[in-house]
Amino acid sequence: MQAGPNYTVPVLKEKAPGLDFGVAFLPGPGQGDASSFAGSDVLTIPAAAKHAAKALEFLNWVITDEPQLEVYAKTGNLPSRTDLANNKYFAADPRLTKTAEALTIAQTPSTFHFNDMSNASSSPWIEMLRTAIFEGDIDGAIAKAKKRMKQIQCN
């Protein structure tokens, strides 16, 4: 099992074309619940930008149908707009449709400590996965990760 971003599907299809894999939501907070993480990158135009008008023109263009479908969706990446999640490219691969479905239930955690909680090599998230996978103590791993995450968030 690998928790990863939506672009994992096209990368695996390219790098390991014979790999038989599926896509599922991350387990949610309650028994049997599904959950997912959603986040995004932010593009900004600095106030002192020399070509602010051209940058804004590009940003306005990149969210139109053509680049969203013919660049993002065509290459197996989620469009930035949820209204374009049901498209001909995703219809051809149920794994891509599953990534798009995640947007309907996804939650974005709000914390200044995200890296310490999730991305750092010694983060509670990484430790939880290691413990659950290699030691088999899933419930204990989750409980310990929750406790450590709360400690980090309160600091």
Higher pLDDT, 39 or 83: 83
Return the structure tokens found at 28. 């949610």
Arithmetic mean of pLDDT, 25-33: 56
Residue 120 has pLDDT above 70, yes or no: yes
Does the predicted TM-score (pTM) go above 0.85? no
Is 109 a domain residue?
A: no
Give yes or no: residues 26 and 77 share one domain.
yes
Answer whether residue 3 shows pLDDT above 90: no
Residue 142's pLDDT is: 93
Contact (CB, 8 A) for 54 and 122: no
- Which of 81, 45, 51 shows the shortest CA–CA distance to 64? 81
Q: Is residue 119 part of a domain?
A: yes
Mean pLDDT, range 95-118, rounded to an integer: 79
For residue 16, tell me if it sits in a domain. Answer: yes
Is the pLDDT at 2 greater than 50, yes or no?
Answer: yes
Would residue 75 count as lying in a domain? yes
Q: Are residues 85 and 121 in the same domain?
A: no
* Three-state DSSP state, 26: strand
Please indicate, yes or no, if residue 84 is contained in any of the structural domains. yes
Do 15 and 47 share a structural domain?
yes
1 within domain boundaries: no
Residue 31's pLDDT band (boundaries 50, 70, 90)?
A: very low
Beta carbons of 76 and 4 less than 8 angstroms apart: no
Q: Is residue 3 part of a domain?
A: no
Indicate whether 126 and 89 sit together in one domain. Answer: no
Q: Quick one: 89 and 67 in the same domain?
A: yes
- Is 31 inside a domain boundary? yes
- Same domain (yes/no): 145, 74: no
Q: By residue range, what is the domain housing residue 120?
A: 114-154
Are 62 and 97 members of one domain?
A: yes
Query: pLDDT tens digits for 43-99?
Result: 789 999 999 999 999 999 999 999 999 999 999 988 888 899 899 999 999 888 888
101: pLDDT strictly greater than 90: no
The one-letter code for the residue type at 143 is A
Q: Across residues 129-148, what is the average pLDDT?
A: 93
Give 75-84's long-range contacts (Cβ < 8 A, gap of 24+).
Answer: 75/10, 76/7, 76/9, 76/10, 76/13, 77/6, 77/7, 77/10, 78/6, 78/103, 80/40
Given pLDDT bands bounded at 50, 70 and 90, which one contains residue 30? very low
The pLDDT of 122-137, averaged and rounded, is 92
Same domain, 76 and 129: no
94 and 126, same domain (yes or no): no
As for how many domains the chain has, the answer is 2
